[in-house]
Structure 1
Amino acid sequence: MKLLERLREPRPAAACKLILAVGLLAAVTLWGLFCGDAAVQADFSRKNLAPGPACLFGTDWLGRDMLARTAAGLSLSIRIGVVTACVSGALALVLGAAAALLGRWADGFVTWLIDLFMGVPHILLLVLISCALGRGFWGVCVGIVFTHWMSLARLLRAEVLQLKTSGYVLAARKLGQGSVGIALRHILPGVLPQFFTGLVLLFPHAILHEASVTFLGFGLSSEQPAIGVILSESMQYLATGRWWLAVLPGAALVGAVLLFDLAGRSLKQLWAVTVPAEG
């Protein structure tokens, strides 16, 4: 009931920001899907062109349109971010709820698992998992999923523990409702605002870590027009003055991350809840 009341409250500024951010991200994703062929098409007659009216982001050493490559790379990164964040968020919800509802042994095991994963730096654990799975698309996705659930699981565990001792849950238990019914009717709706807000805030971390691992050579293959591949390939040409090969794709990646951050903060304002930042 509290969730419905919060959603009914007028917050036009936050709603407009959320719609704008989601709309722009969806537009970039769709645009990138249609730029797949142009992103890999070489044209040696116009190689190494600086940004201008004909090519807004310039061209690279093979004459490939950097705007098309950037759009395709952002689209791929956003899709990876959405898939991995959703799976990682679902894992966090299951483990966080299990730790709070299944007794001391489950709580101790999940807490130990959280501490174990958080004891290893994100990027190092991601590289290890990606390499163990042969790198590529699935290696990166699995690595991101298993390195981004811990903070959200810890938050949801704390929220469920707090809701277990609330008055309406205790009253429902005294009225004879079972544990499953209480969890679905009273506890789950209470943690959904924190879950969805935390889920949105997982997206930028997933995108940045995918680009970082790919940039280091442990992620997506060089044949794919991913942002990490573009930035990695452009490093050897920066000394020759071709700044646009790295600066413009990097700025586009930062813009996508900021849009996800704007969506998360707007969603948090709509639900008027406080979610700590992902580490």
Structure 2
Amino acid sequence: MNRRQITLITTFCAAILLIGVVVGGLTLGEERLSTNLDIRNASPSLEHPFGTDHLGRDMLTRTLKGLTVSIGVGVIAAAASAAIALVLGMLAATMGKAVDAAISWLIDLFLGVPHLVALILISFTLGGGLKGVVAGIALTHWPSLARIIRAEVMQLRSAEYVQISRRLGKSRWWVASRHILPHLFPQLLVGFVLLFPHAILHEASISFLGFGLSPHQPAIGIILSESMRYLTSGMWWLAFFPGISLLIIVRAFDTLGDNLRLLTDPHRAHQ
């Protein structure tokens, strides 16, 4: 098999894994999350592959539902962040030197602040919860993608067909919507997918620290935070299985984004 076929197979496997996790998290019944003190802190078994927690809840079910919540947060936050990057990137490249300088300064400012610190401040200011986490991730993860979109638009502006359209009297909006925006979709799609790993990890991080989602939601960060109290008692499965599942999902999204970048690259698409 050539590199393209291997990339397609890898992409398909990663997509199937992610879809399976979401479907599993949405279809598993709530009865396995009910309190059952008779089987609390049970080690992994055939009936409970990930064991149970201190309330007798099935950890496999909690992990799948937590991953589903994280993926949902990642979808919303990554979409909002990509939209911000698209708007600011196009404005910087098309609205003159003053706007370009202001947006470039803003990009450098956000890139100079650690993501986790800015995310915690924004989430805490907005009162935490789902709204605070999504807003924090969306407002801190756009700069890198905005810089890429700005550079792509700057290159497209000098293209011959764009110059001809301008000489024919076409407006900036017409040129942007007909000539520039369609060429940005591959970069936007890849950037959107590659934002997922950062969004999911940062959501889990601030939820673990207590600045994110509500403790009543089955988020991975909440599960890992709860498990810290029981690790010294030898209950390793409470943290191991949710943690390794989170890393697998993050790696799957990362692989999906890298493969999409290879498939949309005209220099590598036919290798």
Give the TM-score normalised by structure 2. Answer: 0.93
Give the TM-score normalised by structure 1. Answer: 0.91
1:153-208 C-alpha deviation (Å, 9 max, x unpaired): 01101110111112222233233333222212221122221111111100110000
Contiguous gaps of at least 5 residues in structure 1: 1-9, 275-279
Pairing 1:182–2:175 present: yes
Whole-angstrom CA distance in 2 between matches of 1:31 and 1:79: 14
Q: Give the residue type in structure 2 aligned to 1:230.
A: I
Q: Give the residue type in structure 1 aligned to 2:247.
A: V
2:30 to 37, 41, 52: 37
Asked if 2 retains the 8 angstrom alpha-carbon contact of 1:117 and 1:147, the reply is yes
Q: Which moved more, 1:128-137 or 1:181-190?
A: 181-190
1:223 to 216, 221, 231: 216
Q: Give the residue type in structure 1 aligned to 2:223.
A: I
Pairing 1:77–2:60 present: no
Whole-angstrom CA distance in 2 between matches of 1:178 and 1:138: 38
SS in 2 for 1:236: coil
Q: Which moved more, 1:189-198 or 1:77-86?
A: 189-198
Contiguous gaps of at least 5 residues in structure 2: none
How much is the aligned-residue C-alpha RMSD, in angstroms? 1.6
Whole-angstrom CA distance in 2 between matches of 1:91 and 1:155: 13
1:14-71 C-alpha deviation (Å, 9 max, x unpaired): 2332232222212211211233624631111111111111110001111110000000
Q: Give the residue type in structure 1 aligned to 2:177.
A: L
The corresponding residue for 1:210 is: 203
1:208-252 C-alpha deviation (Å, 9 max, x unpaired): 000000001110111111000000010111111110000110000
Whole-angstrom CA distance in 1 between matches of 2:100 and 2:31: 51
1:199 to 192, 199, 204: 192
Q: 1:1-279 maps to which residues of 2 (within 5 A)? A: 11-35=4-28, 37-38=30-31, 40-272=33-265
Whole-angstrom CA distance in 1 between matches of 2:237 and 2:31: 18
The corresponding residue for 1:4 is: none
Measure how far apart 1:98 and its partner are: 0.6
Q: Give the residue type in structure 1 aligned to 2:139.
A: F
